[in-house]
Structure 1
Amino acid sequence: MHPFEGLAEALAEREAAGLYRRRRVIEGAQGPRLHVHGRELLAFCSNDYLGLAGDPRLAEALARGAREMGTGSGAAHLVSGHHRAHHALEEELAAFVGAERALLFSTGYMANLGVIPALLGRGDTVIEDRLNHASLIDGARLSGARLRRWPHGDLAGLQRQLGHASGRVLVAVDAVFSMDGDRAPLGELARLVAQHEAALMIDDAHGFGVLGPLGRGSLAAAGLGFDAVPLYMATLGKALGVAGAFVAGSELLVETLIQRARPYVYTTAMPPALAEATRAALRIAAEEDWRRERLRALTERFRREAAGLGLCLADSDTPIQPLLLGDAATALRWSEALAMRGILVPAIRPPTVPEGSARLRITFSAAHEEADLDHLLEALDSVRREAA
């Protein structure tokens, strides 16, 4: 059978089910207002939580780095691609989160694909929350270890899985769940995992830069250190507005990943100019606490006023605010109705979220103004009344 046989029929079925995805072509810099196919839309769908993706200071740092160090690294870190800019960024990231070492990866997906197989294999066990990001699930599958999953947020379910685990045991969890916006109970998880002599890994893609003092992330927000959570991953393309990811932990962990994490060993290093832009972003994120304060204020006001409109929101205190609508067709209709009113919030549908939980994933940025939130609330109320 030809490997392309049946593809056209499968795509048609996806279209009929309201699950077909199409890309939007964006022009200009990221920000609250995006130019999409010739229209300006007010966007509430980005992960640019601190509003740094379009910050001219980062662009200048990137340009300066490119002038001094070129546009590419030329090779993998272990060949000739590890520049002083990468090394300085790793040291600054480690200091920022309070770890002995940090190691750069090109993306968060690659980090999770690299870390778990580097540490576990056949005969070992990985246990994950059912709503974990796909990269954590794929990393576990790639390792060859047994993958067990517990119902979302169910610590009793995790305890049962820990009781049946064998070999080396790693518990991996999103610190902030990307589609629901809720936080993992890290303190309780750390205590439970320690009782079973397992290790805890967190993916803090949506907490780093946003939560904790100075935006140091979910560990700091929970008052935990690397003794409780020895394996920490966070991305740089969300709150910091650049690209890439890092893993932080002990000297022993990082040296092991340098030797054994295949996406690190066999991937060309990120451009050193990008590392310079990331260093600038890290400094700005730490110094400009008003960005996190505005995020909190926008989120709290939105939840308060959305409740007054009778909108069904998920239980989240983060900038990720899912508006639960149920089926994919309804979510698409609401998204299209908002777009007609000049607001961009794409519909999130299965398999990204479970069947029956399609939604609008509304996200806030420190670059949003109160007037932007006014516009969003007015549009949502209009769509709600129209749907009723």
Structure 2
Amino acid sequence: MPHNAVSPSSPATRTGATRSTTFDWLDEQHRLRREAGLVRTLRPRPEPGAGEPAVLDLAGNDYLGLSRHPEVTRAAADAAHRWGAGSTGSRLVSGSTALHTRLEEALAEFCGFEAALVFSSGYAANLAAVTALAPPPELSGARGLLVSDEGNHASLIDGCRLARAGRAVVPHADPEAAGKALAAHPGRGLVVTDSVFSVDGDAAPLAALARQCRRHGAGLLVDDAHGLGVLGDGGRGAVHAAGLAGAPDVVSTVTLSKSLGAQGGVVLGPARVIAHLVSSARTFIFDTGLAPAAAAAALAALEVLRREPGRAARVRAVAGDLHARLTGAGLTAVRPDAAVVSVRAPSPRAAVRWQADCRAAGIEVGCFRPPSVPDGVSRLRLTARADLTDAQVERAAGTVVGTAAAEGFLNSRRAPG
């Protein structure tokens, strides 16, 4: 049967419908992706203890190893029993609980901000912050300008696209370029950046960006998803480490799904910013609120981090150890500023094979290919965790290096990348 034919058992055939040509263009798109080695597939994780061989996970973002911490999972289970499986509605209708309020207060205090607002995901939080804080022409007197780093996460990019403001995409981690973009625009400005970039794991020059913003009367919005729990005093994040937490012209977003091992997103900033989001952010007003179980899990994880601040330093140490082992063996890897260790691959197809080789050897790593990488260079992406032992770090690095050698990446005249 041709790959694009309707199966005899398909719903269309069973209901007597004829095959439509409306989506035939999708077949060509799939062919092009397949030829370029860019087809994505879902690989469900097996149920723990289901007889599958143990795989060491260096692909997920559970930086502090808290997603299975007994206090965290118990808090989630208790909240589900007490509040139900879901939040039942948007935060402004029935989706706010006492847990949400406690989490917002705890995160604001921990990260050093005046107020916080919890969303159903980090993506939703970023869309809200960017679109709601880009001043529209009728309020600002001139069209606002969003200045976005070219390496920003997709959620920030999408927020800039949706906002009613001008956009300037500037070179990666370049405060001078951001300042020039602001100087060339007469309206209000907002500089938008990740604190730690998810592809290479390098940190943004936040202090220098803040100086440029203040020179031109602009605001600074920082996505600190990869900084919370890893950088700053006791894991308080990159914004806190840069001395910008609580500043009246700085807003930060964080995710609850990385260091805190749960799910959801948060915007932190001045109280008037948070009040504005409650009344204007579409992903807050029209989205179902975060499930109580996730809010309780994040709150419990935050308490563990308060009690065990050394977890943040351990993540950084593991990342540095992985980098040293990989580069010492001849691989090209970006020096990590937080938990992400990025290793360059020769091509998209090579990256997929390399990832599969690592998985077969018992190590799960991430694989970043276009269009997920802004520079078009495919990578393996390893994430450090505070709960990895030295022996596990050695095993992981040895597996990545060994599989690279088996594929010929170490001996090839064409260096990875």
TM tier relative to shorter chain: over 0.9
Q: Aligned AA for 2:393?
A: L
Q: Which residue of 2 aligns with 1:202?
A: 222
Aligned equivalent of 1:147, options 167, 170, 178: 167
Q: Aligned AA for 1:195?
A: R
Unaligned runs of 5+ in 2: 1-19, 138-142, 412-417
1:320-350 CA distances to partner (integer Å, 9 max, x unpaired)?
0000124212212221222232211132100
Q: Aligned AA for 1:240?
A: L
Does residue 192 (structure 1) correspond to residue 176 (structure 2)? The answer is: no
The CA RMSD measured in Å over matched residues stands at: 1.9
1:225 deviates by: 2.8
1:353-373 CA distances to partner (integer Å, 9 max, x unpaired)?
135410100111112111111
Q: Which residue of 1 aligns with 2:38?
A: 19
State the secondary structure of the residue aligned to 1:381: helix
Aligned equivalent of 1:130, options 150, 174, 184: 150
Q: Which residue of 2 aligns with 1:215?
A: 235
Q: Which residue of 2 aligns with 1:371?
A: 391
State the secondary structure of the residue aligned to 1:79: coil
Q: Which residue of 2 aligns with 1:350?
A: 370
State the secondary structure of the residue aligned to 1:377: helix
1:229 deviates by: 4.9
1:272-306 CA distances to partner (integer Å, 9 max, x unpaired)?
23222221111011211232232122122222222
Q: Aligned AA for 2:158?
A: D
State the secondary structure of the residue aligned to 1:346: strand
- Separation of aligned partners in 2, 1:373 and 1:166: 51
Aligned length: 383
Q: Which residue of 2 aligns with 1:359?
A: 379
1:75-118 CA distances to partner (integer Å, 9 max, x unpaired)?
21111221111111111111111111100111111111112222
Does the Cα contact within 8 Å between 1:211 and 1:218 map onto a contact in 2?
Answer: yes
Q: Which residue of 1 aligns with 2:122?
A: 108
- Separation of aligned partners in 2, 1:142 and 1:274: 28
State the secondary structure of the residue aligned to 2:319: helix
Q: Which residue of 2 aligns with 1:79?
A: 93
Q: Which residue of 2 aligns with 1:88?
A: 102
State the secondary structure of the residue aligned to 1:153: coil
Aligned ranges 1:202-351 → 2 under 5 Å: 202-227=222-247, 229-351=249-371
The normalised TM-score by structure 2 is: 0.88
Q: Which residue of 2 aligns with 1:41?
A: 55
Q: Which residue of 2 aligns with 1:173?
A: 193
The normalised TM-score by structure 1 is: 0.94
1:1-44 CA distances to partner (integer Å, 9 max, x unpaired)?
96523101111110111001111111346xxxx98x94432221
Does the Cα contact within 8 Å between 2:230 and 2:316 map onto a contact in 1?
Answer: no
Range 92-101 or range 236-245, more displaced? 92-101
Identity of aligned pairs, percent?
38
Does the Cα contact within 8 Å between 1:76 and 1:265 map onto a contact in 2?
Answer: yes
Does the Cα contact within 8 Å between 1:205 and 1:238 map onto a contact in 2?
Answer: yes
Does the Cα contact within 8 Å between 1:258 and 1:265 map onto a contact in 2?
Answer: yes
- Separation of aligned partners in 1, 2:74 and 2:126: 31
Q: Which residue of 2 aligns with 1:51?
A: 65
Q: Which runs of 4+ in 1 moved over 6 A?
A: none
Does the Cα contact within 8 Å between 1:326 and 1:356 map onto a contact in 2?
Answer: no
Q: Aligned AA for 1:197?
A: G
State the secondary structure of the residue aligned to 2:41: coil
Q: Aligned AA for 2:74?
A: E
Q: Aligned AA for 1:105?
A: F
Q: Aligned AA for 1:6?
A: W
Q: 1:292 to 1:355 in 2, by over 3 A?
A: closer
Range 133-142 or range 345-354, more displaced? 345-354
- Separation of aligned partners in 1, 2:199 and 2:54: 25
State the secondary structure of the residue aligned to 1:81: coil
Q: 1:290 to 1:356 in 2, by over 3 A?
A: same
Range 10-19 or range 321-330, more displaced? 321-330
